[in-house]
A and B are shown apart, each in its own frame.
Chain A
Amino acid sequence: MLEKYKKHQFLFEELVKRDFKKKYKRTVLGMGWSILSPLAMLLVMRLVFTHFFGRTMPHYTTYLFCGNLVYAYFSESATQGMTSLLGNAAIFTKVNVPKYLFLLSKNCQTLINFGLTLAVFFIFCLLDRIAFTWKFVFLLYPVALLMLFNIGMGLVLSALFVFFRDIQYLWSIFSQLLMYMSAIFYSIESFSPAVQYAFLLNPVYLFIRYFRKIVIEAAVPSLAFHLLMAFDAAAVLLLGCWMYRKYNTEFLYYV
């Protein structure tokens, strides 16, 4: 494993550099936009839901930001990851390289974006008079799992995208649905207990919920909650790895 990593380290670094340059090269704002865009989103939501829908939850801005933060990272990783394999078809049909490198390179980029947004998030927490407790350390858990979950999702989607090009459109509809189901701007407490349990089936919601628990309620979720998240991440990651392994030499028929 380590030997394999060493062997492809140079290629991986060059791929990350390439993806970075291609994304930011000819934009004036460059990486600044990556911070501004979630902030603008937050502002819009905040305006709409407090002024038009009259939400008066304590720390509502932080509540919203938790949702946006997690969902934006997930959605960006998924949509960018989806095209990572097909976009590099010219390379993997000519050179024998591990195909997951292309996805990991994209994920590096979205992780950096997430890191930047997370920094802004903590500044907003300060402004929202959130008490920073030692429990914030627990945030490492959802962040690490979300990373794995996103990689898994990217593997699955990028493999599917090679076989079925319309996955792109189906996914954009599905991710809309997922967004509305993730309780980003509303609270699930008004639903019946059965419906509330149903929300636990949505992995993205779990990550958002974890963030809110730690940041707003200063409470650590239960062990079962931790395990459920780990299960989701592992399941998706394993599915993705299995697909890449199974179709490793099949992809090139479809490009």
Chain B
Amino acid sequence: MSIIELKDVSIRYKVGDFKAIGLKDYVIRKIKKDYHVQEFWADRHITFSLEKGDMLGIIGTNGAGKSTLLKAISGIMKPTEGRVRCQGNVAALLELGSGFDGELTVRENTYLRGAMLGYTRSFMNDRYDEIIAFAELMEFQDHPFRQLSSGMKSRLAFAIASFVNPSILILDEVLSVGDGAFRRRSEKKMMEIIRGGATTLLVSHSLEQVRALCSKVLWLHKGEQLAFGENVNDICGRYQDFLDRR
């Protein structure tokens, strides 16, 4: 029984005039027949399945549909066609830095983010000190969040997220956080979670990382599934060639 199963998943994305136009504009454009919405397929016919403990690397150039696919798996988006089936709880760490509130203090933001990730209050009370220590923000706990440097912000984001205990873990470019020392510690922490038995999906632009960590790899290009399989080195090699030729 596979943990994640995607069957012929296609996701249509909408772009066009509709964004941030008002009701007045909308009505007038409808009347003048000047209202255009383009729809395009961000992902087309994606099919794969993952077993418990698998680590999938998703590679592809910008606009390949990687993030959209992850959003469908985490339940934020619904596939237009096809079916996504996940077994167990999903923790999606997408663009960690955003979603914090600059007005609130570091402490308040930590609790809020913990709540968003589905932790309980007692869990947060127990682990709060550990999280702050891991993020090395002991002396900033009661500062407004906006006063932190961007490196500190992502360190905190990672530290809170690193206590997740999901059966499915989704990582969108989060393994490259902070400076060298922190990066080593965060990678180590991530590996602990992954070794804990989580099935992991990882989007990464670092082929080196994918080769080192992943047991399966999925190559997307403009929404199409070019390759999927356990022959990680082979697919990464072909992708590297593809990049070099461009």
Contact = CB atoms under 8 A, between A and B. Distances in A.
Interface of A: 7, 10-11, 13-15, 17-18, 21-22, 25, 90-97, 163-167, 170, 249, 252-254
Contact of A14 (B76, B92, B115): B115
Residue with the highest number of chain B CB atoms closer than 10 Å, among A15, A165, A170: A165
5 contacts: A14-B111, A96-B76, A163-B18, A164-B22, A164-B26
Contact of B98 (A11, A13, A90): A90
Question: Is the interface on chain B under 10, 10 to 19, 20 to 34, or 35 or more residues?
Answer: 35 or more
B118 A14 contact: no
Contacts of B117: 95
A7 B119 CA distance: 9
B104 A21 contact: yes
B19 interface: yes
B212 interface: no
A96 B111 contact: no
B87 to A, nearest CB: 16
Contacts of B24: 166
B173 interface: no
A97 B108 contact: no
B196 interface: no
Interface string B73-102: 011111000000000001010110011010
A92 B103 CA distance: 19
A91 B76 contact: no
A79 B107 CA distance: 29
B108 A164 contact: no
Given A15-B112, A25-B103, A252-B76, A10 B121 contact: yes
B116 A97 contact: yes
Given A18-B101, A21-B104, A94-B76, A10 B120 contact: yes
B181 interface: no
A93 B90 CA distance: 15
Nearest to A255: B19
Contacts of A165: 20-22
Interface in B22-74: 22-26, 71, 74
Given A22-B103, A22-B104, A164-B21, A249 B78 contact: yes
Contacts of A167: 22-23
A250 to B, nearest CB: 8
B42 to A, nearest CB: 11
Given A18-B101, A18-B104, A94 B112 contact: no
Contacts, number: 81
Contacts of A253: 13-14, 18-19
A14 B13 contact: no
Residue with the highest number of chain B CB atoms closer than 10 Å, among A22, A91, A92, A95: A95
Given A14-B112, A90-B98, 5 more contacts: A21-B103, A91-B116, A165-B20, A167-B23, A253-B19
Contact of A10 (B18, B74, B115): B115
A95 B108 contact: no
Residue with the highest number of chain B CB atoms closer than 10 Å, among A18, A167, A254: A18
A249 B111 contact: no
B76 A93 contact: yes
Contacts of A14: 111-112, 115
A203 B23 CA distance: 24
A21 B124 CA distance: 20
Contacts of A94: 76, 92, 94-95, 98-99
A91 B115 contact: no
B99 A166 contact: no
A219 to B, nearest CB: 42
B57 to A, nearest CB: 21
Contacts of B104: 18, 21-22
Contact of A249 (B18, B23, B77, B94): B77
Nearest to A167: B23
Nearest to A160: B23
B77 A164 contact: no
Nearest to A91: B99
Nearest to A12: B115
Nearest to B123: A10
Contacts of A96: 74-76, 90, 92
List 3 A-B pairs, minimum CB-CB distance, nearest first.
A166-B22, A11-B115, A164-B23
A17 to B, nearest CB: 7
A95 B92 contact: yes
